[in-house]
Amino acid sequence: MTPAKAIGLVGRLLLIFFFLYLTTSLYSLYNLLSTGSFSLGQMEFTITEDALTASIPFSFNNTGFYDLWDLNITTTIKDPDGNILSKDETFIASVPRGTRAYETHRVSISLAKLLSGNLTRLLLEDGELQANISIGFTYAMALGFRLTFSNLSFPWGAPLSHLCLTPEDLRFNGTHYILPVRLSFENHSEFLHVSGRLRIEAFNDRGELFSTGLMDVEASPRSNYHGILEAIVWNPSMFTDRGKIRIYLDTELYHLGPVVMAYGGS
């Protein structure tokens, strides 16, 4: 056999081996992805003084012919205005063939960063947070694979949803005139506990401040709150049937206000 023929034979053999490798790799990868080898567990939430963390257990069962390398899951969370709140990554160096890897993907959102945006909107209005999830790995040392899920949404429950204040008629308690104000809201949040001091300032239809009041409020997640705030009226002649109330709420996590609400009509 001449050297030229030998080189040609070696080249054909290498081409055949490469074709077999590529074919088995693609076939194995297809089976790996189509048989549900990747599975997610039940998401759990934990909250601390400064962060909300979602923990998502997952597993990857490598039933293919080759080892899997550089398994990577990246999650980006955005607020309703598109601002990035968090970007977290979980990395597994390798998953040998015939084995199953277990890991937990954790996504943490700073409450300070979350509430530093449009605070009034987040506290008073239900909405949606956006998530982008990217899963990537290298298979058979050569095939790169990445799957991206964009613009996934999950609900944001406002802790002060349907906030309502309704002044009632003035009454005299023996020493002061009192303006009873009925307060109600719905805590739609799955994790935020409302605990703080609420303050109001009442103005008549001429824009004159005639009453202030304080009360402590407590509402656990997924609960409704109803209470009556008794505000002292300095001069009952200043009270009018229409006006505005400024609302302030101070908690350990955030400070809300002023939120201006009309009473007695627009």
Quick check: pTM over 0.85?
Answer: no
The arithmetic mean of pLDDT across residues 74-81, rounded, is: 82
For the chain, percent of residues with pLDDT exceeding 70: 80
Instruction: Mark whether 43 and 113 lie in a shared domain.
Output: yes
The arithmetic mean of pLDDT across residues 191-201, rounded, is: 91
pLDDT, residue 215, reads 95
Structural domain boundaries, residue 200: 161-263
Q: Residue 89: pLDDT above 60?
A: yes
Helix (H) or strand (E) holding 10: helix 3-34
Q: How confident is the model at residue 228 (pLDDT cuts 50, 70, 90)?
A: very high
pLDDT, residue 160, reads 93
CB neighbours of residue 107 within 10 Å: 23
CA pair distance 110, 230, nearest whole angstrom? 36
Instruction: Mark whether 11 and 133 lie in a shared domain.
Output: yes
**Would 1 be classed as within a structural domain?**
no
Q: Which residues contact 242 (CB under 8 A, 6 or more apart)?
A: 204, 205, 262, 263, 264, 265
pLDDT, residue 142, reads 64
3-state secondary structure of 6: helix
Helix (H) or strand (E) holding 164: strand 161-167
Q: Residue 202: pLDDT above 50?
A: yes
More confident residue, 7 or 198: 198
pLDDT, residue 207, reads 93
Task: Indicate the range of 40-44, 55-59, 152-156 predicted with least confidence.
Answer: 40-44
Q: Residue 154: pLDDT above 50?
A: yes
Instruction: Mark whether 86 and 119 lie in a shared domain.
Output: yes
Q: Which of 156, 181, 196 is the last residue of a domain?
A: 156
Helix (H) or strand (E) holding 39: strand 38-40
pLDDT, residue 58, reads 81
Task: Indicate the range of 9-18, 70-79, 185-194 predicted with least confidence.
Answer: 9-18
Instruction: Mark whether 146 and 52 lie in a shared domain.
Output: yes
pLDDT, residue 23, reads 44
Instruction: Mark whether 23 and 55 lie in a shared domain.
Output: yes
Average pLDDT, the chain: 80
pLDDT, residue 56, reads 81
**Would 98 be classed as within a structural domain?**
yes
Domain tally for the chain?
Answer: 2
**Would 2 be classed as within a structural domain?**
no
Q: What is the pLDDT of residues 6-40, one digit of tens each?
A: 444 444 444 444 344 344 444 444 555 555 566 76
Q: Check: CB of residue 198 under 8 Å from CB of residue 249.
A: yes
**Would 53 be classed as within a structural domain?**
yes
pLDDT, residue 244, reads 94
The arithmetic mean of pLDDT across residues 45-69, rounded, is: 78
Q: Which of 104, 136, 156 is the last residue of a domain?
A: 156
Instruction: Mark whether 113 and 176 lie in a shared domain.
Output: no
More confident residue, 217 or 263: 217
DSSP 102-133: EEEEEEEEEHHHHHTSSHHHHHHS-EEEEEEE
